[in-house]
Amino acid sequence: MFRRASRLLLSIVMLMAGAVVGVGATAGAAHADSCYTWNRTLSQGSSGSDVTQLQIRVAGWVTSGERLSYDGQYGARTAAAVKKFQAAYGLSADGVAGPATFSKIYALQDADCTPVHFTYAELNKCNSDWSGGAVSAATARSNALKTMWKLEAMRHALGDVPITISSGFRSRACNNAVGGSATSRHLYGDAADLVGSPSLCRLAQQARTHGFSEILGPGYPGHNDHTHVAFDPSPYWSAPTCGI
């Protein structure tokens, strides 16, 4: 409760500061954030690590079946994702990431860069160091962060309802223990199994517009009790009971 209240106050202060700074000023210079601070306004044609950091946070705001690249290049797709993010949070939807956009992101993230409604612990119930999967521990953890930001977008689009994760990253040992596929995306850290409310079908249907390329749910073998979402290089959706 205290953390949420503090973040709300911080968000209000940042938005007021953004209004004072003005549209033509650089973004983030007066808004130091404990996770990451943007120091310039970004728009089409911009490039760099600050664009990549933005892409991580807006990758869940895409059209059905689309996947946003984390390539550090602010192209048309990144601009479109920023517009959707801005519109979703009541900001001026111009596709330019400036003070107001960054202030909203700052309000949405914790000091470890995870979105406020999700934690690394929720995405890793296997071990403490993210080791033993199909990729390095650092890559698995990075993939989980990207997944959390997509889930944050999905959560907001569903009306800010809680989303419950039953399984995220798995080492090979953890994956074998639950009978997971040898090629499971859980081994890469970019998968999450969702349970509870909203309904499994609602979750599967909504996931299509939030950057997930692998969606498995009710009607697919072994998935009648959860909806699985992941970032797979070879897109595949199957939840026959849900019309997917």
Q: In this structure, what CATH number is given to the domain that contains residue 220?
A: 3.30.1380.10
Res 23: pLDDT: 36
Quick: pLDDT tens for 52-76.
Answer: 999 999 999 999 889 999 999 999 9
Res 161: pLDDT: 95
Quick: pLDDT tens for 66-113.
Answer: 999 999 999 999 999 999 999 999 999 999 999 999 999 999 999 999
Q: Which are the catalytic amino acids?
A: 223
Quick: pLDDT tens for 202-236.
Answer: 999 999 999 999 999 999 999 999 999 999 888 99
The pLDDT mean for the chain works out to 90
Query: How many domains are contained in the chain?
Result: 2
Contacts for 186 with CB less than 8 Å, ≥ 6 apart: 133, 167, 168, 169, 170, 175, 180, 230
Shared domain for 83 and 144, answered yes or no, is: no
Evaluate if pTM is beyond 0.85: yes
E-strand stretches of the chain:
164-167, 191-195, 214-216, 227-230, 236-238
Shared domain for 120 and 104, answered yes or no, is: no
What residues make up the domain containing 66?
A: 38-108
* Tokens of residue 201, six digits: 């079908």
